[in-house]
Structure 1
Amino acid sequence: MAQFADLPIELLPLILSFVPNPLNHTKTCLVNKIFYQYAGPKLYERISIYSWHKRAKERVILLFVSLAMKRYEDVGRWVRRLEIRDFPKSLSPTISLEPSPPSSSSSSPPESIDITTLITTALSNCPHLRSCTWTRDGSLSTEILLALQTHCKELEELEINGHSGGGNYDARTLVGFKELRKVRLIMPGVGVAGRLREWIGGMTEGRLKHLTLVCKLSPLISDTLLERLSPHLRSLEHFSITGCPKVTERGIIAVLEKNENGIVGLGLEGLSVKFHMPTFRSACLQHGFLRRLCTLTLTVHHQVPLEEWTTNVNDILSSTQLSHSESPLVHPSSSPSSSSSSSFASVSPPPLESFHIYSPTTFFEPSTSTSLFFHNLVSVHHATLKKISIHRMLIGMEVIERICRTCEELEELVVVVERGNVGGLPQLASRCLSRAKRLRIVHVNYPLEARTRRVLQGSYSRNPHHLGDDDGQEDDDEDEDHGDNGDDMEENEDENEDEDGDGGVDGEGDGIDLFRPVLLPPDALAIVQKCPATLEQFGCNTRVWKIQKRAEVDETGKVVGIRRELVRYDSLDIPEAFLVVRT
C-alpha cells in the first residue's frame, strides 16, 4: 500500500499550503529536515505581535533577540511581513540577557545590549522584508527607520505611528523611503504632516499605489494639504482618509482630479460635516473619477439630510443618470442640491465589489431612504458585489433578503438587525442568508440595552475572539485594532453570559435570547446550520467563530455526512467586522 512517504517531494509545498493556520507549522517543522526546509519559510513569513497576545511586550524583545543571532540568519531571510503593534514603552535603553552556553557564545548577542542596536541588528538580518508595521507610539526611532532603508531593500509597505515628536524619530528620515507602494500613517503629527509633500513628492514616480491617513479629529490633514499632495498621487489606486474634520469635498476632488487611471479603492470616513455630497457627485459624474472603483467606504453623519445624501451616492454609483423627475429614489421633498443629472452623459457603473457604510456616532433607524438606497445599490451592482458591510444603520429584513437573493457573488455580509424582529436571527438565516450561495463570512450586530450599547458605538475588539464590556478605551497609537490590556478579555466572557441569566426575552422560533449581548455557541451553531455550506466564519456582536467541517462516517468507514462545528477564531488577521474605524 502506498504511504505518505512515497509521494514525490515536489508535492510537499502544495500539501503544506493547505495548513489553515501558519502557527501550525511549528509542528510540521519538527517532522524532519525536509519538512523544515519547506514549512520554515511559511512559519516565519509573517511575524505579528498584537497587544492582546500574552506577554506581548516580552515577546517582542525575544523576537528581536532571536532575529539578531547569527544562528537564526535563515529565519531572518524568511521574514516577509513584520507587524509590531505592541512594545514596552518603559523599557530601559539596555537589556541584560542570560549568558549563552560556551558552545554557542560566538553566535549569541552579548549579555547586555542596547535595545536600538538589538533591533537594527535584527532588521539587518531580514533582507527580504516587504511589509513593516510599527504602530506603538514612542517605540519607533530614527535608527530603526534608517535600518529599514539600509538593509530592507525590498520593502514595499510601511505602516507607522505618525507621532514623530517628543524624542521619537526625526520626520525628515521618512524622505529616504522612495520605493514604497503602500503607506499607512496613524495619527500623523505636525512633523510628519509637514513632511508629507516632500516625502511623497520624492518617491519614484508612479510607485505609490496605496495611501491611508488615519487621524482622530486632527486639524493637520486639511483640504490645502491634500491639494498640495495631489500632483504626486497621479498613480494612486487606493486612497483612504479617516478622522479629518478639516477635509471636505474640495480636498478629495483635488486628489481624484489629478489621478490618471481612476481610483480603485476609496475610503472617506469621519470627514467634515460640511462635506458637500452634491458637489462631489457632480464632479464624479462629470469627470468619471470613480469609473474603476471596486471598494468604497463611507460614513454618514446625522447632521446630513439622509435622503439627499443617499440620492447623491446612488447617482454616483448608478449606471444611467436619470433626470430629477425620473429618479425612483427622489422624493417630492428632496432639496434642490440633488437636482437634475440629465446634463451628464450616461456612464457605465463602476465594477463595485465591496461597499462599506457606517455612522460614526449613533444608530440610524430603519427608513425609506436607506431601504431605497440599498435596493438601488444591489440593482446596479448585483453582478459584482462580493462584500457589503453596514454598521450602526438598521435595515429591514426585506432589504437583507434582497441583498442575499440578488447579489450572486456575495461572499461577506455585515449587517445590523433590529432586536425585536419576529423570529430574530433564525429568521435572518433561513429567510436571507440561506439564499446567498457563495457566502463565506457573516457578522450580525443588533442594538443592546444601554449598559452594552456603548460597546457597539465606541469600541472594537482587541481580542478577535471576544470583546468585553471594558473595551471602550482606545489607544492613541493605534487606529482600529488594539489597546494596552488585551489579556483580560477572556475573563469577561463568563461575566457577560452570567449576568444576563434568564432575564432576557426569548426570540421566537429557536428560543434565542436576543437581549443577550453575547450569542451562546449552541445558538450560533443553530443559525449556522441554516446558512449555506460555503460559510467559513460567523460572528454576532462581540463574538466571532470559525466554522469547521468534520466528516461523519458509519461503522464501515463510509462518509455519510458532513458536520459543522464552531471553533475558536485563530487567524492572524482581525475579523473585518472589528476593523471599523469609529471616530
Structure 2
Amino acid sequence: MISHFNDLPLELLPLIVQYLLRPSHLAIACRVNRSFYTFSIPLLYERVFIYAWHKEGKAKVIKLFKTLADYPHLAKLVQQLGMGLLLFSFPPPSAMTSSAIRDFPKALQTEDYDLVLAACLDGIRNCVNLRACTWTRHGSLTSSVLSTLVECSRLQELEINGEHAGFYDPAILPRFTHLRKLSLIMPSAAVASMLLPWCKNTSGTLQYLSVICQSSPRINDEVVASIAPYVTNLEYIYFVGCPKLTHDGLWTLLSGNYKGVVGLGMEGLSTAFDMHAFSELCTHHNTLSRLRSITLTVDEHTALDEWQKSVLALLSHAPLQQFHISTVGGHVNHRLDDAFCAAVVSAHGSRITRFSVHRMRMTIDAIMDICRRCVVLEQLFIVVEQDDLDALGPCLAQAPKLRAVHINRPLDFGSEDVPKQSLDLILSIARQCRPTVRQFGFNTRVFQVDRNVHSNADGTTDVNVALSSYEIPEIPEQFLVVRT
C-alpha cells in the first residue's frame, strides 16, 4: 500500500510546519490549502523582523505596515516586531532636507509621509498581542510611534535607540509601566535621566535591563545607584561601553537584589573597576549563587594575572552555564591563558553549554580541553591562529553535544570575507565534527551544516557533509552585542 502526504493525520501538520524557518517558505505553505494556511499563518506573522541587508527592505516595511493596518486579523498574530535595524527615518515633514529624503524608499511628499506614518500607527494599534518590540534605527522612533506602542497593553519587551534629540519626547518612556525587559542603546542625557522614574514605574515587573553606550559617561555610579532601590527583581543585567561605571555602582545594584541575577554582563566599564574588590563583595555575600551566564571584557591596562584570579573567585559559587570573554575595542595583544581557561573548565565544565571567546587568541590545547571536558557544550566561539586550523577538527570532534561553532582569526589578520581556500578548509573541519553540529561560522560568514545520506547499491550508506546558506531569520548569537 502506497501512502501519500495527504494521508497523514491532520494533527501532525503543526509539528511539520514548525520546522520551516524562512518566512518565504512559510508563505508558500500558506498557499497550499486551507489546512496548511491555518497552521502556517500564525508562524509567518508571529515574529516579524526586517533588517537593513534585506533586499528592498524599506519597501517591505511600508508594505508590512499597510498589511497590518488593513488586515487586523493578521496583525493580531504578531507577537514580536523588529524594525529597529532598518526602518526609515520619520522626521517632521517640515524638517526634510535632500539628505533626509534619501532615507526613504522614494522622495516622499508631505501627503505621502502622512499616509505612511498613519499606516504605521494603525498597524501597531492592530497588533493587540504584541509582546516584544525592537526599534533601534537612529531617527526612526518618534513620539507618535512611542505613544502608540504605549497602547499595546501586552507589550513586555522593548529595545529602543536612546538618542532622542529631534525625534521623540523622553518623557513618554516612563509610561511603559509593565515591561519585563528593557534595552537602551546609546541613551542621551535626557533619556538617561528618565531611567529613575521609568524604573520606579516598572519596579514590579522589570527583570531584564541592558544599556549599551559608546564610551558615554551618562551611565555612571550615581545613575545606577539611584535606580537600585527600584530594580530589586532584576535577573539579567548588562552594561556595555559605560566608562564611568565602576564596581561600586554595580555592587549597589546587585546588593539590593532579592533573588540574585541569572545573567551579568560587564563590558567596557571603567578602568577604575576593581575586580578584586567586586569579587570579594560578591563572594562574601554569596551574591552570584544563581548566576548562569557572565560576559566579561579586558582592556590593554588590565593586569591579567590578578584579574583572572579575581574572576575565578567571583565565579566560584556560581552554577555557570555560559562563559563569554573578549577584549575591549580593537585591542588584540591579550591571550586567553591556558591555566585560566582550564580553571574555568575544572570548576564549571560539567554545566557549560556555551564557551565564547572574542578578540583573544587561544591555543589549540585550550580548545581541546574545552571540547573534551565540557561534556554538555553546545556552542563554541573561538579565536584561532591560521596555523592551528588544521588541528582544529580533532578537537571539535571531542565535544559530543556541540551544535554551533564560530571561528575568528585574530583581528590583526583582518576580518575579510571567506576566501575559497579557507572555505575548503572550513568544510574539511566541519566534516570532522560530530553529526550534532548544524551551524558553522568563520569570520563574518555563517553556514548551515547539511548532512545528506545516500544509499549505495550494496546496501551501505554514505553521508555527504556540505555547507549551505544560513536560513534562520534571527541574527546569529555570536554577532550579538549582549549575550544571554
State the TM-score, normalized to the length of structure 2. Answer: 0.92
Secondary structure, aligned partner of 1:57: helix
Decide whether the 8 Å contact of 2:185 with 2:213 is kept in 1.
yes
User: Which of the numbers 393, 398, 412 marks the counterpart of 1:429?
Assistant: 393
The answer to whether structure 1 residue 439 and structure 2 residue 368 are counterparts is no
Q: Which structure has the bigger radius of gyration?
A: 1
After TM superposition, give the deviation of residue 381 of structure 1 in Å: 0.4
* Structure 1 residue runs without a partner (length 5+): 98-109, 319-348, 456-468, 470-492, 499-512, 514-518
Alignment of 1:203-242 (within 5 A): 203=202, 205-242=203-240
Structure 2 CA distance, aligned partners of 1:576 and 1:290? Answer: 24
Structure 1 CA distance, aligned partners of 2:169 and 2:91? Answer: 20
* 1:114-137 per-position Cα deviation (integer Å, ceiling 9, x unaligned): 333221111111101111000011
Structure 1 CA distance, aligned partners of 2:124 and 2:136? Answer: 17
After TM superposition, give the deviation of residue 6 of structure 1 in Å: 2.2
The answer to whether structure 1 residue 565 and structure 2 residue 466 are counterparts is yes
Structure 1 CA distance, aligned partners of 2:162 and 2:40? Answer: 36
Decide whether the 8 Å contact of 1:267 with 1:296 is kept in 2.
yes
Decide whether the 8 Å contact of 1:227 with 1:254 is kept in 2.
yes
Alignment of 1:86-165 (within 5 A): 86-89=86-89, 93=93, 113-150=114-151, 152-165=152-165
Structure 2 CA distance, aligned partners of 1:139 and 1:559? Answer: 58
* 1:140-191 per-position Cα deviation (integer Å, ceiling 9, x unaligned): 11111111121x21111000001122x2111111111111100000001111
Secondary structure, aligned partner of 1:12: helix
Counterpart of 1:528, as a letter, is: A
366 and 171 in structure 1: CA distance in 2 versus 1, 3 angstrom threshold:
closer
Structure 2 CA distance, aligned partners of 1:525 and 1:223? Answer: 48
| Higher mean C-alpha deviation, range 17-26 or range 122-131 | 17-26
User: Which of the numbers 458, 463, 478 marks the counterpart of 1:577?
Assistant: 478
Counterpart of 1:381, as a letter, is: H
* 1:385-423 per-position Cα deviation (integer Å, ceiling 9, x unaligned): 000001121122111111111010001111112233xxx
Counterpart of 1:127, as a letter, is: V
Structure 2 CA distance, aligned partners of 1:4 and 1:559? Answer: 27
Counterpart of 1:255 in structure 2 is: 253
After TM superposition, give the deviation of residue 236 of structure 1 in Å: 0.3
91 and 274 in structure 1: CA distance in 2 versus 1, 3 angstrom threshold:
closer
Structure 2 CA distance, aligned partners of 1:413 and 1:404? Answer: 9
Structure 2 CA distance, aligned partners of 1:112 and 1:407? Answer: 55
Structure 1 CA distance, aligned partners of 2:113 and 2:352? Answer: 56
Secondary structure, aligned partner of 1:230: helix
After TM superposition, give the deviation of residue 224 of structure 1 in Å: 0.5
User: Which of the numbers 376, 387, 393 marks the counterpart of 1:409?
Assistant: 376
After TM superposition, give the deviation of residue 559 of structure 1 in Å: 7.1
Decide whether the 8 Å contact of 1:545 with 1:569 is kept in 2.
yes
Counterpart of 2:118, as a letter, is: T
Decide whether the 8 Å contact of 1:78 with 1:128 is kept in 2.
yes
* 1:298-336 per-position Cα deviation (integer Å, ceiling 9, x unaligned): 001120110000010011112xxxxxxxxxxxxxxxxxx
Counterpart of 2:98 in structure 1 is: none
After TM superposition, give the deviation of residue 263 of structure 1 in Å: 0.4
Decide whether the 8 Å contact of 1:197 with 1:228 is kept in 2.
yes
Decide whether the 8 Å contact of 2:93 with 2:113 is kept in 1.
no
Counterpart of 2:357, as a letter, is: I
After TM superposition, give the deviation of residue 2 of structure 1 in Å: 3.1
269 and 112 in structure 1: CA distance in 2 versus 1, 3 angstrom threshold:
closer
Decide whether the 8 Å contact of 2:263 with 2:294 is kept in 1.
yes
The answer to whether structure 1 residue 356 and structure 2 residue 324 are counterparts is yes
Decide whether the 8 Å contact of 1:365 with 1:395 is kept in 2.
no
Higher relative contact order (CA 8 A, sep 6+): 1
Counterpart of 2:333, as a letter, is: F
Counterpart of 2:108 in structure 1 is: none
Structure 1 CA distance, aligned partners of 2:282 and 2:66? Answer: 52
Decide whether the 8 Å contact of 2:21 with 2:473 is kept in 1.
no
Decide whether the 8 Å contact of 2:181 with 2:206 is kept in 1.
yes
| Higher mean C-alpha deviation, range 565-574 or range 436-445 | 565-574
Structure 2 CA distance, aligned partners of 1:307 and 1:393? Answer: 15
112 and 137 in structure 1: CA distance in 2 versus 1, 3 angstrom threshold:
closer
Counterpart of 1:531 in structure 2 is: 433
* 1:461-484 per-position Cα deviation (integer Å, ceiling 9, x unaligned): xxxxxxxx5xxxxxxxxxxxxxxx
After TM superposition, give the deviation of residue 93 of structure 1 in Å: 4.1
Structure 2 CA distance, aligned partners of 1:289 and 1:262? Answer: 6
After TM superposition, give the deviation of residue 90 of structure 1 in Å: 7.2
Structure 2 CA distance, aligned partners of 1:142 and 1:216? Answer: 24
Structure 2 CA distance, aligned partners of 1:567 and 1:62? Answer: 30
Decide whether the 8 Å contact of 1:56 with 1:86 is kept in 2.
yes
Counterpart of 1:14 in structure 2 is: 15
Secondary structure, aligned partner of 2:76: helix
Secondary structure, aligned partner of 1:235: coil
Counterpart of 1:302 in structure 2 is: 300
Decide whether the 8 Å contact of 1:417 with 1:444 is kept in 2.
yes
Counterpart of 1:358, as a letter, is: S
Counterpart of 1:465 in structure 2 is: none
After TM superposition, give the deviation of residue 574 of structure 1 in Å: 1.6
| Higher mean C-alpha deviation, range 271-280 or range 16-25 | 16-25
Decide whether the 8 Å contact of 1:93 with 1:115 is kept in 2.
no
* 1:347-388 per-position Cα deviation (integer Å, ceiling 9, x unaligned): xx3111100000013113447xx2111111000101100000
Structure 2 CA distance, aligned partners of 1:573 and 1:222? Answer: 32
227 and 53 in structure 1: CA distance in 2 versus 1, 3 angstrom threshold:
same
373 and 436 in structure 1: CA distance in 2 versus 1, 3 angstrom threshold:
same
Counterpart of 1:391 in structure 2 is: 358
Counterpart of 1:399, as a letter, is: A
- Aligned identity (percent) is 39
Secondary structure, aligned partner of 1:390: strand
Counterpart of 1:38 in structure 2 is: 39
Structure 2 CA distance, aligned partners of 1:67 and 1:579? Answer: 28
Counterpart of 2:332, as a letter, is: F
581 and 409 in structure 1: CA distance in 2 versus 1, 3 angstrom threshold:
closer
User: Which of the numbers 376, 380, 392 marks the counterpart of 2:347?
Assistant: 380
Counterpart of 2:72 in structure 1 is: 73
Alignment of 1:255-404 (within 5 A): 255-318=253-316, 349-360=317-328, 361-366=330-335, 370-404=337-371
Instruction: Indicate the RMSD between aligned Cα atoms, in angstroms.
Output: 2.4
* Structure 2 residue runs without a partner (length 5+): 95-100, 106-110
Structure 1 CA distance, aligned partners of 2:39 and 2:450? Answer: 26
20 and 123 in structure 1: CA distance in 2 versus 1, 3 angstrom threshold:
closer
Structure 2 CA distance, aligned partners of 1:164 and 1:12? Answer: 46
Counterpart of 2:456 in structure 1 is: 554
Secondary structure, aligned partner of 1:133: strand
Counterpart of 1:461 in structure 2 is: none
| Higher mean C-alpha deviation, range 393-402 or range 210-219 | 393-402
Secondary structure, aligned partner of 2:54: coil
Structure 2 CA distance, aligned partners of 1:31 and 1:163? Answer: 45
How many pairs align? 468
